Amino acid sequence: MLTKKQLDLLEFIHKRLQRDGVPPSFDEMKVALDLRSKSGIHRLITALEERGFIRRLAHRARAIEILRLPESLGGGSEPQNAGTEAQGFSPTVIDGGQDRTPARTSARHSSAVELPVMGRIAAGVPIEAISQVSHQVTVPGGMISPNGQHFALEVKGDSMIEAGINNGDIVVIRETEAADDGDIVVALVEGHEATLKRYHREGSIIALEAANPAYETRRYPEEQVRIQGLLVGLIRTY
């Protein structure tokens, strides 16, 4: 039996994982639950882990995996990934081609798809924009929107570590030119530098916010920033 705060936190983490593909930071959890300190979040996380609803991944900042959901959130008694090994999968290969324009890959209903990795994206200061396929990566079909176009990027840097995004991770991006406040986006800055940051609009100014206190939020006139895609998933190799 979960307390209301435990249930509220589990629901918040679940929704953010579905939306962003990565869990919220402890600061975001604290604000969402209207708590005064992060110590309260640590206690709730520990309680959820002890009850078998979540698992914290060792040596990874803010890395949380949901194992199961209570019935009130649409889950059952079994872990969310139970039975997947027995079911197997039939991968559908999506041809990324050698087009220099990212995201020429249409999603299909399948258990796994291949996406073109377009090179590296900065999770730090912006780096030169990349637009050339380096290799392919297989991703779960559930990450892919049926009507969207997607591509993948390798993360370089640690500025998004508190959002659970580490150096060397592969991020799955849905192509879009629109974003809402708080979304993690691929932004093209001044036409030639690409970066992975959390998006905020401040009137006619676009703020690109890091998830690491060592990096400052960078602000640009809106005409200098073009959204290229929205984070929908993350692949990590251990």
Catalytic member of 4, 25, 90, 197: 197
Cβ-contact 55, 47 below 8 angstroms: no
Burial 175-207, CB ≥16 within 10 A → b, else e: bbeebeeebbbbbbbeeeebbbbbbbeeeeebb
Pick the closest to residue 231 from 169, 179, 184 (CA basis): 184
Q: Is 15 a catalytic residue?
A: no
Catalytic member of 5, 37, 159, 204: 159
Rounded Cα distance between 230 and 212, Å, is 19
Cβ-contact 187, 197 below 8 angstroms: yes
Q: Is 131 a catalytic residue?
A: no
Provide the annotated active-site residues: 159, 197
